[in-house]
Every structure is written in structure tokens, then in C-alpha cells.
Structure 1
Amino acid sequence: MSDRVGSEAEPGPATAYSYIRLSSKRQSNTGDKKAYRDGLRRQLALRDEYLAANPHLTLDTTFSLHDIGVSAFTMANIAKGGDGKLALFQQAVDEGRIAKGSYLLVESLDRISRASVPVAQHMLLGLVNAGIIVVSISDKMTYRQAPNDLTSQAAFLVSVMSLMRAHEESVMKSKRLKETWEEKRRNIGSRRLTARVPGWLHEVNGVIEVHPKRGAVVKEIMELLADGWGRDRIARHLNANDVECWGHGRSWHGGTVQKITDNRALLGEFQPHRLQQVERRGIMAAKRVPVGDPIRDYLPRVIDDDLWVRARGVANRRRLGRAPNAGGRQGTRVTNLFGMVAKCAACMKPMNYRDRGPRSTPVLRCSSERAGTCTNAYRIPYYDTEAAILLWLVKLDLTAGARGELARHEEALRTKVTERDVLQARGEAIVREYGAGGRFAKVPLAEIDAAMTACEAAIADLTSKINALRLDGGRDERSAAIERLQELQRRGVPDGEVFAARMRIRQIIRDTFETMWCYPDGNIEIFTIDGGYHAFRDGYWWNEGDRTWVPSVGAMTGIPYRGTKAEMARRAEWLEQAYRAAPRIKPRNGKDP
């Protein structure tokens, strides 16, 4: 196997670079005795044998040329700007960092490329014309610049046949694999498509079941998401409680949580996919795309539809920037239950929670007034307002005026579903015409994707409201959440448990309120998803049924919220005026001030 092609003279010393490529990472598993999983050991053995037979070569160990799990059929290993090591080697040759006369050792030419012959031959000739000697060890072929050596020139005829055979093999494998999966998808009703299942499922005596521990973790994750927790915070919570992470990761992180929360397999659905070649950084790469409609009841269900809808509603609002961390970095407390809900009625900007220290009273203050661009200078006493709204929230009956609002929401839902389906059809038509990666498809597909994302968020939001109105308006859930918070506060439990309870209530408020307008005279108007109107001020709420203002403890006594004498006098004055002026409270200008 020594290098003696085209010359009887003893070759001079040179540096050899070893290029190893495996299409799949599993082929590097040398512990497996299966031959097709022994590619790494085989290539290394051939290289070492060649070097032993050619002592004039010194193996370079500073430039790692291992492409493990990289396809030569899609040109991922040679694409400029990509991560392929052969592309980096070509770049180093072009820049003169690798000396002419150096050797590139490969098991065979199909390790360099399995692309079409013009592309693969161009790659090979580019290296040879730059002064690199390419050695295909398995078939004992050497490719070099030797204008006067007919044997060396004839070797390139052999290279054409080798590269053509490699490309045809890859095309045939791709075609057969595609046909195999298409057949599996056709028979999916009678035979499982794949043995792989989500991490929260496992197989027991040939039957797929929900893993008892992991299933409980999934439910907890979805409940926390529905209660307004962000995915990063959920991950930190799981890690802090030593919850085992399944899969390849050693700990939870936001991305791991998102893979669970976004997967409709939680509902027992299975979505078949196929691989589609798309352009990425100048190369064609495989991307999984859905095929056909999801198959219901294919897998065991882990959560119910109501939990899925509530959690997805929160997640979609976060994705569209409508439900960020309203109070900034929260640590272990949720100070403001009305973040992203309370707005100034004068300028429509958010009302911020402000606490100037232990000798002051926390308030809601217009964010624009603080910056000098709004005239709403009223400081709404936060604790009294929160206490009054929670007292009212327990009694709130969303079903009273739900019929008209339910019909309105259902009509809006039908409209959004139709809009989404039209967008889906448009996108599929573009893909059929131009392909997903075509230059004429990228911009319209991106626009369609953004519009569909907005539609899906609206669908989740409307579905959540409809479910609340169809049942009991969520009264049981609100009562349980508020009673839980009051119990924790009485017991003086750690901040972590109180945090979770307040997060849940904050999300209930966001799901229940349409708007919460704060006026310069201190009045607050809340419109709920059933179309109802509700009035508040300084810790009092207007009970239309009893036709009276109902106070919280702090609003009535100033205890324990440090109400000053001036504050209490002001409350008494407006309360007396309110009863004299208007026994019935009405909204000022409808839902929009």
C-alpha cells in the first residue's frame, strides 16, 4: 500500500492529514460488534496501516478533520461557511496555511463527497490543483499533479466512476428510505410507525403506558405554565427540587421544558413527519415537516384539553410579547398581581407598582406620569386595591351575562380558524410550487408563518375564554386559588409557596379581565370576559346586587396597610359624595376610555 505511483524515486518527507467522515454518529460506536457501526475503527485502522507503509509521512495531529454525523450527500461537509471540517481544510489550503505536497488521506472518495459528479469532481480537482496529494486508501488510488505521468492522469478517470457510483448509491438509499416511510405512514392505523415514544411514556409488556413519575412531572409543568410561570423558571423549580431530567440532558433548562409544553403528543396525538431538503447556509439539509393530519388517540393521553388550552394560551401570549414578565425580575415574590392588565385611562400606558420603602405605602402609578408625559398623578393604594379585588373575584359570576359574550367569542373563534386554514392552504400551495427553500418562497412563507402564529395565539385565547364561560365562569378555580393564598399567608409559609399561589392568581386575573382602567380621580373600571363592568376605588368595590360599596379591611380601618389620617379622610369624603351623586355606578365611555 506504499506510495509509489508514477515515480521510482524515494519520496521526500511530507505532512499527512487524515480525514474521517461518518454519516451517522452511531457508526462511531466501537463497542458495538455490528459491522455497520464500526466505521470509525475501520477508517483509523486503514490510515495507520498506510502510514506504517509510508514512513516518509508524518501525521498532523493539530488539525482535527473528523466529520462525525455529517452527510456528504447533502454537501454539509464541504459547504463554505458551514461547520464541515473538509470545508475548513479547503479554506486552509486556499489561504496557504497547508503546504503544497501535503497528503490528504481518506478511506475512499465517497468520504469526501457523495454529491453529483460535477460537484464532487470540482472539489477533488480543487485540492489537487492546489498541490495537495489525495490518497484513497481502500482502492489504492493516488491523485496528484503529474502532467507528464499518464498513470496519474488516468487515475482521474477512475475517480469519475467512483464518485458516480457513490452518488447513485446515496440517491437510491434516499429513494428507498422515502418509500419505506411512506408505506409505514399508509399502514399507521394497523401498525405503529416507530418504536420511539415521548420520554414521559414507556412500554410495559408490549403496551405503551404513561410513566407514573414522568407523567406527574409533565402535569406539573403544564399546570405551572398555565399559572403564568415562564419556562426558564419552571426549569429552575424542577432542578431545585431534584426532579430527574430524562433524555440526554443532565438538568432541566427552558428549551427542555418547551419541547414538552409544545408537544401535542401530551393529548395522545401523533403527527407523522417526513424529511424535506431545505437550503441552509448554502447547503441542502434535511428538515422534518408534518405529513397529513395528526392522528388522535394514537398515544396515551397525559393531560386533558382544558389544561392544554390554558397552558397554550399563556405560552402563545408570551411568544407574541403580550405576557412578558410584567414586574421585571421577580425573584421569590409576585408584588403586582395586575401587571400587563392595569392601564392608565388618560394615556393608556401601564400602571407600575411602586414601593418606596418600609415607611411608605405601595401604590400603582402611571408609568408616563412618572416620566412627565401624563397628567394622571393619582396614587392608587396597592394593598387595599388588591384586597378588594380578590374579595370581589371570589364572588364574581361570569355566567350572568355570558350568553351574548359566548356567542361573540364563538363567532370570533370561527373567523380565526377559517383565517388560519386559508393561510395553511396558501403556504402549502407555495411549497408545492416552489419548494420551502426556494428564493420565491422564503418571504411569503415567513409572512404566512407570522400570521398563522398570531391566529393560533388568538384561537388559544378565545378557546380559553369560551371554556370559562361555558362552565361556571371559573368561580371554583378562583375561590380555590384565593383561599389557598390566604391559608399560606396565615400559616407564614416560605416565600416559594406564596410565590406559586400568587403567580396562579395573577394568571387567573389576566385570563378573566379584558381591561382594567385607572382614572385620574382614583376610580378603577374593570371589564371582564363576559362583558361585565365593575367599579373600584381606594379598596372598595361596587356591589351592584346590594347597591353598596364593599370595603376591604384595610380600606375600612387603615389597618394593616398604614392608611394615614389624610388618606382615610379622603376615602370617607369620596364615599359620601358617591352615595349622594349616583346610587348606581355606570361605565364612562364603554370599554375604551
Structure 2
Amino acid sequence: MDAPVRTEAQTKAYSYVRFSTPSQAAGASLQRQSEKAAKYALEHGLTLDTELNMTDLGVSAFRGKNARTGALGEFLEAVQKGYVQRGSYLLIENMDRLSRADIITAQALFSQLIVSGITVVTLTNLEAYSLARLEREPEALLLVVLELIRANKESVRKAQLIGDAKARKKKRLAEHGLEGKPYTRQTPAWIMWSEEEHRYTLIEERAAIVREMFERMDAGDGLVRIARDLNVRSVPTWGRSGKQRTADHWRTSYIRKVLTSTAPIGTFTPHITTHDEVTRARRDEPMAPVENLFPAAVDADTYWRVNRKLSTTAARGRNARQLPKSIVSGIVFCATCGHAVTRVAKGDYVYLVCSRANMRARGCAYKAVRYETVEKALRENGKHLVKEAPRGKSASALDKQIERTQHEADGMEVLTFELLELIAEERGSPEATAASRRLREVERRLKSLQRELRDLRTQRDTMTIASVRDRLKAVERALTSNTDVAETNAVLRDAIRRIVLDPEQGHLWIRWHHSEDVQDVRCFTRHMDWTEFRETTPPMHALFPENSNALDKTQ
């Protein structure tokens, strides 16, 4: 940061203006705070600085964002580097403009300014706090502490009320439907609320693009090809509500976001905002989805076929357009580390090898298995594999499980609000400390239940008796007939989530899309230990990586 050029010896004052919502910019908040600062500077012979940006518009002080990344943070840096001289004034409307964080954080921020030689002035009551005054009148610090505590309690209570309102709104939606009023106006870009029809409707020209994305992905096109084609055709990107910037071109990340969202089949997933206790980083945690809130842009069968395809590993880069040369391409994984297995050609032979081991990464030994051994094991056992394949639970049984899980999740949400209220009312007491510990446990359980609900609903939608039967029949036909490699791979990817190659135990472990039960096929390899008989155990960390911390994503 460059030091401001000083042309006057007069003491400088810096007016810090902040409000937490962008909508306040349209009101009198900015003008009111600025006028108060100008008046104070004039009456006290101060030069009001105009070089440093001292305005945080729409920035909250509840989590300390204004002091970390906002204009206040830049001011603190300027003070630290000496660009703002000791003895300068910081003019704020009230203490809550400085911080609404917890009292420890807020008081530390205030003390940092005072110790750095900055005089903090609250313009509403014209109180000036300097190091000299607080040394002379230490009781004046009590006024500051009380104001900071009040500001924090107001924000805690506001957050609680907003959470309660969202919970009541969601409950009312579940019991009575929309009742002619929008549940939210923050809709996907292809959906809008119709004031005339009192319901959500599709923006047809955009919904047609959504359908095209799904149909092309279903037909085998990749994200890059779809995005590139939309850009070549100069298809306009979609603007969002408010003043959010419209993208200048289609990106694969956005197309993936559309394809993995549940909104195209009419399901709305509300989120609750949480913050990391250490970094204060914002996290939007999904809540239980609301089905059939929006009109569907694509049919359910197409949606879930694409969903299953995206849940497996697709070819990337220069291989994206090439037909697969393996019937297990994209769905075979290593039993040891859980990473993808790659196809390696050595002369006249082709092997399957763990991708980590192939790159000589630590944690997985290089154990190549002949590809023809794996394909032969699947094809020779095709009929038995399908005959013994799990059929999953009945839809009615899953519905009951979803209902039980949803009931527990609702109870956890209510308990969360009650604990927040107790913490706000008894702040600083042993009861509040105990409630905070209990709140962390409840929030962890609630997140777990929400993930379980999403998985259960996905499983229910992909396991109808007819669809499971059709996919299993297709697998049997593909494995037992002369179906080519690419078609067989497409059929297997549509039905199977993961095949785990286990050279040491001599097994292929199968996890289907429609069931959590694990099936195995014998696959004899040269890596098996024939000297002793041991009971085989499925490598659950590789079959269910979403439930395991075994995969180190940094590697």
C-alpha cells in the first residue's frame, strides 16, 4: 500500500462508514454517516481524509469480515505500516459500525486501534476514546465494552430470528404448499415466479438449453464439448437477479453445476449458512430438499442417467472424445488406496494398474493385473452376477426410512434454535458454554442426517423396480453377448457405481447404483497369497469413499 501524500500539518480524521446490506445504500445510511463525520471534523479543526477508501458497503461486522478483508482491514494495515500517523482520528457513527463480533474479538480490535495511537470517536454521542483518556479514566472502557456486547447480542438475536423464520417458512411450505406466494425469489436462471399465475414457471428458451445439456451429456458429449458448442453458437449466458455480473461465456463449471443440481427435476434445496469456528469462512450447508417446488425442465429418467454418469470417472483431456477401450473404464478403483485404476499397455499385453502406483506415489504398491483377466471374470460370471445382484429395498421401505430420518432432522433443527436462544440469553455463563458444546454436536448430527436424506432420496429415485430390472437385464445382455467394448462400458456405468479391483484377495467388489449392498466376483491374479487361507473382506474405504477419510485429496 502506497503512503498517502500529506500536504497539511493539521491532524487527520478518517471517516469509516459501514452498513451490512447493499439495500441500505439506496437509503440515507451512507449520507447520514458521511455528514456526521464532516460536521465533527469541521467543528474540531480536523482535516477529513479523502485518499483512503474507508467505506464498507454491504459488509457485515458480525463475523469480522470488515476487519479482515474490508476497508477497515486496509485502514488497520495503513496504521500498522505508519501511513496513518499516531494521533489521527477514526470517526464512526456507533461502536456497532466497528464490530458486532463476540466481545473478545471486538474488544481486541478496539484495543489495537487505541494502542496504535488512534483516537476513536463515536459520532452519535460524541465520545472520543484515546489512550490518554483511558489511562486517565479507565472506567470509560466500560461504556465501550457494554456497547460492543449490545451490538453482538443484537446480531446473535437477529440471526436466530432469521433462522426461526426460515424454519417456520419451510414448515408452512411442507404443510400448505406455496399458497400463491413465492417461497424464494432466488431461483435457478431458467425459472421465474409468475405474479399472474402465482406459481413458478419455466423461462422456456432457457429451459430448452437445460434440456439440451442433459440430452447431450446423456448421448455421450462431455462438458467441454457442450460449453464450446454453446459459445460457438453465441448462445447468450444467463443474467442473474440484482446487480450480479453476467458471465461473458459458457464455462464447464457452470454446466456441471446445472447438471448436478436437483432443480432441473423440480426439487429445491434450501441452505443454511454456517461459519468455520477458526477461519470464520462462510459455509452454505444444504438442508432437506423440497420436492416439486419448481416445474421440471427435464424428465426424471434422463436426469438420473446423467447423474449416475457424472458420479463415475469420465475420460478427460485428449481422451475425452475417444471411445473407451475397457469395459470397466471410469468405474474401476484400487482396493488398497481407493484411487482410480488406469489402463497400461506393455507390448502385446494390457494391464490394469492403480493410477497412484503407476505414478510411483507413496501409499500403494505397483500390482498390475492383466485386463483380459478382469474382463473374462465379469463376462463368465455375468449371469450369476445379475442373478445374485441386490434388488435394493422396496420404495415403501425407503419412504418410511426417509420419513424417520426427516423427523429426526426436524427435531435437530428445532433443538439448534433452542440452543442458540439459550446461548444468546446466558452468554458467558457455564450454561451457555455447555450449550455451545451441545450445539456443535447437534449441528454435526444434523449435517449427517441431511447427507443421509439426500442419499436416500437419490437411491429411491434410482431404484424403482422397473428401472432396476431393466438395468440388470441390460448388464446381463452386455456381458454375455458380443456387445462391443464401448456399449458394454456404457451399460455398466449406468448400473454400477464402482468396481474395486482387489489383486491380493482375488476379487472384484461390485457396488451398484441402486443398492448399498456389496457383491463380489472371483478374479484370480498372480498377486494372491496361496500359502494360507484367509477370509476375504471387502475394502469398504474404496467402495464407500464418501464415508471414509482414507483418500488424501492433497496427493
- TM-score, normalised with respect to structure 1: 0.57
Give the residue type in structure 2 aligned to 1:86: L
Deviation at 1:457, TM superposition (A): 6.1
In 2 relative to 1, CA 106–236 (structure 1 residues): closer, same or farther, beyond 3 Å?
A: farther
CA distance in 2, matches of 1:239, 1:214: 15
2:351·2:368 contact (CA, 8 Å) conserved in 1? Answer: no
Match of residue 575 from structure 1: none
Does residue 66 of the first structure (1) align with residue 61 of the second (2)? no
Aligned-pair Cα RMSD in Å: 6.1
CA distance in 2, matches of 1:463, 1:271: 16
Match of residue 269 from structure 1: 267
CA distance in 1, matches of 2:152, 2:54: 22
CA distance in 1, matches of 2:138, 2:124: 19
Match of residue 211 from structure 1: 203
CA distance in 2, matches of 1:454, 1:288: 13
> Secondary structure, in 3 states, of the residue corresponding to 1:70?
coil
Give the residue type in structure 1 aligned to 2:305: R
CA distance in 2, matches of 1:196, 1:465: 31
1:72·1:115 contact (CA, 8 Å) conserved in 2? Answer: yes
Match of residue 312 from structure 1: 307
CA distance in 1, matches of 2:165, 2:134: 50
Deviations 1:276-321 (Å, cap 9, x if unpaired)? 654443559685653xx54443322222322232233233xx3xxx
Match of residue 426 from structure 2: none
Query: What 5-or-longer segments of structure 1 have no aligned partner?
Result: 1-10, 29-33, 480-485, 487-501, 519-524, 532-591
Match of residue 66 from structure 2: 77
> Secondary structure, in 3 states, of the residue corresponding to 2:325?
coil
Deviations 1:78-99 (Å, cap 9, x if unpaired)? 4xxx434435544664676643
The higher radius of gyration belongs to: 1
> Secondary structure, in 3 states, of the residue corresponding to 2:120?
strand
Give the residue type in structure 2 aligned to 1:104: L
Deviations 1:6-26 (Å, cap 9, x if unpaired)? xxxxx9623433322220123
Deviations 1:258-278 (Å, cap 9, x if unpaired)? 4433433333334555x5654
Deviation at 1:112, TM superposition (A): 0.8
2:409·2:449 contact (CA, 8 Å) conserved in 1? Answer: no
Query: What 5-or-longer segments of structure 2 have no aligned partner?
Result: 1-7, 424-434, 478-483, 502-507, 519-537, 539-555
In 2 relative to 1, CA 170–66 (structure 1 residues): closer, same or farther, beyond 3 Å?
A: same
Match of residue 543 from structure 2: none
Match of residue 20 from structure 1: 17
In 2 relative to 1, CA 420–76 (structure 1 residues): closer, same or farther, beyond 3 Å?
A: farther
Match of residue 260 from structure 1: 258
Deviation at 1:253, TM superposition (A): 2.9
Corresponding residue to 1:57 among 47, 58, 65: 47
Match of residue 4 from structure 2: none
Percent same amino acid at aligned positions?
A: 22
Deviation at 1:133, TM superposition (A): 1.2
Give the residue type in structure 2 aligned to 1:244: P
For 1:493-508, list aligned pairs within 5 A: 506-508=489-491
Give the residue type in structure 1 aligned to 2:494: D
For 1:340-419, list aligned pairs within 5 A: 340=330, 364-367=350-353, 405=389, 408-410=391-393
Corresponding residue to 2:191 among 201, 204, 210: 201
How many residues of Structure 1 are paired with residues of Structure 2 in the alignment?
Answer: 467
Deviations 1:37-56 (Å, cap 9, x if unpaired)? x4334444544555556665
1:416·1:455 contact (CA, 8 Å) conserved in 2? Answer: no
Deviations 1:436-469 (Å, cap 9, x if unpaired)? 9966776997799689869966985786465665
Give the residue type in structure 2 aligned to 1:261: L
1:15·1:59 contact (CA, 8 Å) conserved in 2? Answer: yes
For 1:382-461, list aligned pairs within 5 A: 405=389, 408-410=391-393, 425=408, 432=416, 460=458
Give the residue type in structure 2 aligned to 1:101: G
- TM-score, normalised with respect to structure 2: 0.60
